[in-house]
C-alpha cells in the first residue's frame, strides 16, 4: 500500500468537522488497506506505532526534525526555522520546503506504508550514543523520497503533532462498519478492545476473521485490560437498594491501582492508565512472585504505602516518592508498600472476566497466600445499612477512603473499560486538613515488629474529659518517632507501666501494655473522623460513634510541661471536628 493513500485520507479527515463523515472516511481507508497491515495503519492514524501500553514512542524533537528536513531538501536550517516561525506547524513547513526542492528526482521510490512504518519503528528503537544521528538519517531518507503532502504527515507524526482527532471509539465504529457487518457489531468489537487495549490487534482480527474471530477473543497476559470503574452513591441505603439488598463491601484502599500480569517469574504492573509501572515497584513485583500461587494470572490490587513497623496504612501522597527513574531503592526503603488484591481476571488459562464477582473473588482467595504485605481486600457481605455504615467508619479510620460495594448478582461480570453500577463507591465528599496540633496522653502501647522489635510499634493516645475526669482514646500513633525516641520510650515509660487498663482510662481497644495517664505528647493529624472504636466523645455526634484522629504523626515534642489534665480536651476535639465540617460546607 502506498503511503500516499494514507496521506490523502488524512487530508480529507482533517478537513471535516463532522464525526460521521470522519467515520466514513476512516471506513474507506480501512477497507482499502491490505488486511495484513491494517494494525499498522490503525496505529499510524492515531500518530503511534504501537498501542500505548508498550511504551514505545517515536519522539523526535523539533530541532532534529528541522535538521533532517534540511538534509533531505538541501535547504538551510535557518530558512526552515524562519518558515516555521510563520507557519507554527512543522508539517506545513515541511510540505512547503519539499515542494521547493530544486532537483526533482524522477526515479525516486514511492513510499509504501510498510517502509514508513518500519523506518518510524527503527527511529523509535534507536538507542545509545549514535541514536540522534541514526534517527536523523532515517528521517531524512524518508523525506527525500516523500511528496510534499507525505512530508507534511510524516513530520507531524514523528514530532507527535498528527492530531487528526480520531478517537478510539471512532476507530471501533469504523471497524464495525468496514468488517463487522454494521454498527451493531460495535459492542462486541469494543469488548475485544476493552480486554486488550490494543486497537491494532483488534482491527487485524476483525479484518481477517470477522466477528467469529472477535467472539473467540480472550484476555492475554501482557495486554492490559481497561479498568472497570465504580459509580458513586452517598448513602448505604441507596447502595443496598441499587445492589439488590446485598453486596460484597470492601475497603476502598487509598493507593495506586495496579493491574498485575504474571507469567511465571515474569511480572508486569500496569497503572490505572495502563502504563507499565513495574520499575516504580520492584518490591511489589517480588511480593507477587512470592505470594501469587498461580503460574499465570491477571489480578487487580491497590498498592498502598504502609508503615512496616506498625502495619498502618499511610496516605496516598507518599506513593508520589515512587514516581522516579533514579533512586528507587531508597524510595522503596523509605516508602514501603503493601498489596491489597481485589480482583482476578485470568488464572492459568481461564479467562474470568465474564464470571460473576463472587466467583472471581473465590478464585482470588485460592491463589493468594496472604501475608502482612499481600492481602485480599478486607470485606464483609452486607445486607443492612447499619452494618455497612459501621464498616465504612472502620475503613476510614484504618486509613482507607471508604468502601467499594460490589454486586453479587449472576451478571456481575468484569465490565472492562466501563464505569457502571456493579461497583458503587461510598466515600466522603470532602478532604480536609487538621491544622492545629493536639496534646494527647499516652495511655497504652502496642509491641513493635521488625525494626521496632523490643520497643513500641504504636502508642494509644487519649484526650481528657474534665466532666468525669477520664481519658478517652482518640488515636493510635506509630509515626514520627525517631530511632532515638524509640530507643528511649520503653525506658521513659517503664515507671508508668501498670498491669491493666487504668480506671480513669476509657478504651474499647485492648493495648499490649497499659500506662498510668501521665505522659503527654504533641501530635498532628490529617483530620478528625467518626469512629466506632475510639471512645473520645462517644455518642455525642452520632449514636455509637466516637471521634478519631486520622494519620497521626508525633511532632517530636514531649509536653513535659503539661500534666495529663492539661491535655487537649474531648470538647476541644469536638469543636475541631465541627469547625472542619463547617469549613467543608462553606
Task: Specify the residue, 551 or 558, whose C-beta has the smaller distance to ligand ATP.
Answer: 551
Longest Cα separation, the chain: 100
* 3-class state of residue 382 by DSSP: strand
Q: Is 252 a catalytic residue?
A: yes
Q: Where are the beta strands (DSSP E) in 130-255?
A: 229-232, 247-252
377 binds ligand ATP (CB under 6 A): yes
Q: How many residues comprise the chain?
A: 586
Nearer to ligand ATP, 101 or 272 (CB): 272
The answer to whether residue 302 forms part of the interface with ligand ATP (CB under 6 A) is yes
Binding to ligand ATP in span 395-414, by CB under 6 A = 404
The residues with which 521 forms a beta bridge, in sequence order, are: 440, 558
Return the number of the residue (214 or 243) whose C-beta is nearest ligand ATP. 243
Nearer to ligand ATP, 291 or 425 (CB): 425
Q: How many amino acids of this chain bind ligand ATP (CB under 6 A)?
A: 13
Site for ligand ATP in 92-131 (CB under 6 A): none
Query: In terms of CB distance, is 230 or 288 closer to ligand ATP?
Result: 230
Minimum distance, C-beta of residue 424 to ligand ATP, in the bound complex (Å): 9
What's the rounded Cα separation, in Å, for the pair 3 and 113? 5
Task: Decide if 261 contacts 289 (C-beta within 8 A).
Answer: no
CA pair distance 202, 172, nearest whole angstrom: 9
Q: Which one of residues 35, 101, 257, 428 is an interface residue with ligand ATP (CB under 6 A)?
A: 257
List 40, 252, 427, 476, catalytic entry: 252
Work out how close the CB of 190 gets to ligand ATP at its nearest, in angstroms, rounded to a whole number: 19
Q: Give the position of cell 480529507.
A: 12
Q: Is 306 in the site for ligand ATP (CB under 6 A)?
A: no
The answer to whether 42 and 200 are in contact (CB under 8 A) is: yes
Considering the complex, state which of residue 257 and residue 291 has its C-beta at the smaller distance from ligand ATP.
Answer: 257
Least distance from ligand ATP to the Cβ atom of residue 328, Å: 22
Q: How far is the CB of 419 from ligand ATP (least distance, A)?
A: 7
Contact 331, 321 (CB under 8 A): yes
Q: Which residue lies nearer to ligand ATP by CB, 35 or 257?
A: 257
Q: Choose which of 425, 504, 553, 562 interacts with ligand ATP (CB under 6 A).
A: 425
Among residues 100, 92, 58, the alpha carbon closest in space to that of 76 is found at 100
Q: What is the dihedral of CA 149, 151, 153, 154, to 10 degrees?
A: 160
Could you give the C-alpha distances from 60 to 48, 117, 577, in angstroms and in order?
13, 15, 54
Phi-psi region of 461 (alpha: psi -120 to 50; beta: other; left: phi over 0): beta
Shortest separation between residue 343's beta carbon and ligand ATP, angstroms: 7
- CA dihedral (84, 88, 89, 93) positive or negative: negative
Question: Looking only at residues 197 through 256 of this chain, which bind ligand ATP when binding is defined by CB under 6 A?
Answer: 229-230, 250-253
* Cα–Cα distance for residue pair 254/396, rounded to 1 Å: 10
- Exposed e or buried b per residue across 441-475, where buried means at least 16 C-beta atoms within 10 angstroms of its C-beta: bbbbbbebeeebeebbbbbbbbbbbeeeebbbbbb
- Complex with ligand ATP: residue 139 or 277, whichever CB lies closer: 277
Shortest CB 251 distance to ligand ATP, Å: 6
Residue 440's SS3 state is strand
Q: Is 342 in the site for ligand ATP (CB under 6 A)?
A: yes
- To ligand ATP, the closest distance from the beta carbon of 322 in angstroms equals 15
Q: How many helices (H) and strands (E) does the chain have?
A: 19, 21
Nearest approach, Cβ of residue 316 and ligand ATP (Å): 9
- Vertex 324: Cα angle to 318 and 326 (nearest 5): 125
Share of the chain residues as helix, strand and coil, in percent rounded to the nearest 5: 40, 25, 35
Name the minimum Å distance from CB 94 to ligand ATP: 40
- The residue ranges of DSSP E strands in 264-335, in sequence order, are 266-270, 296-305
> In terms of CB distance, is 75 or 406 closer to ligand ATP?
406
Q: Which of residues 318-337 bind ligand ATP (CB under 6 A)?
A: none
179-182: long-range contacts at Cβ-Cβ below 8 A with a sequence spacing of 24 or more?
179/30, 179/206, 179/207, 179/210, 180/206, 180/210, 180/211, 180/214, 181/210, 181/211
Grid coordinates representing 106? 524522477
Q: Which is nearer to ligand ATP, 12 or 428 (CB)?
A: 428
Rounded Cα gap, residues 532 and 162, in angstroms: 56
Work out how close the CB of 394 gets to ligand ATP at its nearest, in angstroms, rounded to a whole number: 14
**Residues taking part in catalysis:** 252
Query: Which residues here bind ligand ATP, judged by CB under 6 A?
Result: 229-230, 250-253, 257, 272, 302, 342, 377, 404, 425
Amino acid at each position: 500500500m502506498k503511503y500516499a493513500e494514507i496521506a490523502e485520507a488524512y487530508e480529507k479527515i482533517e478537513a471535516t468537522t463532522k464525526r460521521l463523515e470522519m467515520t466514513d472516511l476512516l471506513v474507506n481507508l480501512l477497507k482499502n488497506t491490505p488486511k495484513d497491515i491494517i494494525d499498522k495503519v490503525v496505529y499510524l492514524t492515531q500518530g503511534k506505532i504501537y498501542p500505548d501500553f508498550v511504551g514505545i514512542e517515536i519522539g523526535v524533537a523539533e530541532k532534529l526534525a528541522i535538521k533532517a528536513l534540511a538534509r533531505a531538501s538541501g535547504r538551510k536550517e535557518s530558512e526552515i526555522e524562519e518558515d516555521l516561525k510563520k507557519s507554527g506547524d512543522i508539517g506545513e513547513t515541511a510540505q512547503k520546503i519539499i515542494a521547493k526542492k530544486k532537483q526533482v528526482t524522477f526515479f525516486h521510490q514511492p513510499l509504501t506504508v510498510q517502509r514508513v512504518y518500519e523506518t518510524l519503528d527503527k527511529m523509535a528503537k534507536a538507542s545509545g550514543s549514535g541514536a540522534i544521528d541514526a534517527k536523523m538519517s532515517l528521517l531524512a531518507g524518508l523525506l527525500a523520497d516523500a511528496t510534499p503532502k507525505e512530508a507534511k504527515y510524516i513530520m507531524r507524526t514523528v514530532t507527535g503533532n498528527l492530531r487528526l482527532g480520531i478517537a478510539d471509539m471512532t476507530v471501533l465504529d469504523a471497524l464495525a462498519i468496514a468488517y463487522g457487518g454494521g454498527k451493531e457489531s460495535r459492542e462486541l468489537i469494543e469488548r475485544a478492545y476493552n480486554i486488550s487495549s490494543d486497537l491494532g490487534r483488534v482491527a487485524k482480527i476483525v479484518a481477517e476473521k470477522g466477528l467469529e474471530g472477535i467472539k473467540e477473543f480472550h484476555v492475554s497476559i501482557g495486554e492490559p485490560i481497561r479498568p472497570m470503574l465504580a459509580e458513586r452513591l452517598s448513602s448505604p441505603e441507596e447502595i443496598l437498594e441499587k445492589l439488590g439488598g446485598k453486596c460484597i463491601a470492601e475497603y476502598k484502599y487509598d493507593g495506586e491501582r495496579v493491574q498485575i500480569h504474571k507469567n511465571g517469574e515474569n511480572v508486569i504492573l500496569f497503572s490505572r492508565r495502563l502504563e507499565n509501572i513495574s520499575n516504580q515497584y520492584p518490591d511489589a513485583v517480588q511480593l507477587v512472585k512470592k505470594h501469587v500461587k498461580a503460574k499465570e494470572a491477571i489480578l487487580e490490587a491497590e498498592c498502598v504505602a504502609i508503615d512496616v513497623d506498625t502495619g498502618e496504612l499511610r496516605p496516598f501522597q507518599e506513593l508520589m516518592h515512587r514516581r522516579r527513574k533514579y533512586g528507587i531503592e531508597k524510595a522503596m526503603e523509605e516508602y514501603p508498600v503493601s498489596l491489597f488484591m481485589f480482583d482476578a481476571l485470568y488464572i492459568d488459562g481461564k479467562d474470568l472476566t465474564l464470571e460473576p464477582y463472587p466467583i472471581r473473588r473465590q478464585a482470588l482467595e485460592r491463589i493468594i497466600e496472604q501475608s502482612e504485605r499481600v492481602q485480599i481486600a478486607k470485606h464483609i457481605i452486607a445486607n443492612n445499612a447499619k452494618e455497612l455504615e459501621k464498616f465504612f467508619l472502620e475503613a476510614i479510620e484504618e486509613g482507607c477512603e471508604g468502601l467499594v460495594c460490589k454486586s453479587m448478582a449472576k451478571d456481575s461480570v468484569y465490565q472492562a473499560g466501563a464505569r457502571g453500577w456493579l461497583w458503587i463507591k461510598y466515600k466522603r465528599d470532602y478532604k480536609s486538613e487538621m491544622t492545629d496540633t493536639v496534646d494527647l496522653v499516652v495511655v497504652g502501647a502496642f509491641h513493635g515488629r521488625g525494626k521496632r522489635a523490643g520497643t513500641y510499634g504504636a502508642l494509644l493516645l487519649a484526650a481528657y474529659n474534665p466532666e468525669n475526669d477520664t481519658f478517652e482514646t482518640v488515636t493510635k500513633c506509630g509515626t514520627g518517632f525517631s530511632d532515638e525516641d524509640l530507643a528511649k520510650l520503653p525506658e521513659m515509660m517503664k515507671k508508668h507501666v501498670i498491669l491493666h487498663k487504668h480506671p480513669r482510662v476509657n478504651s474499647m481497644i485492648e493495648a499490649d501494655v497499659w500506662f498510668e495517664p501521665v505522659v503527654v505528647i504533641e501530635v498532628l493529624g490529617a483530620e478528625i473522623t467518626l469512629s466506632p472504636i475510639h471512645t473520645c466523645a462517644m455518642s455525642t455526634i452520632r449514636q455509637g460513634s466516637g471521634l478519631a484522629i486520622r494519620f497521626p504523626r508525633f511532632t517530636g515534642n514531649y509536653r513535659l510541661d503539661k500534666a495529663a489534665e492539661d491535655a487537649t480536651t474531648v470538647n476541644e476535639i469536638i469543636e475541631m471536628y465541627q469547625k472542619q465540617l463547617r469549613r467543608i460546607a462553606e
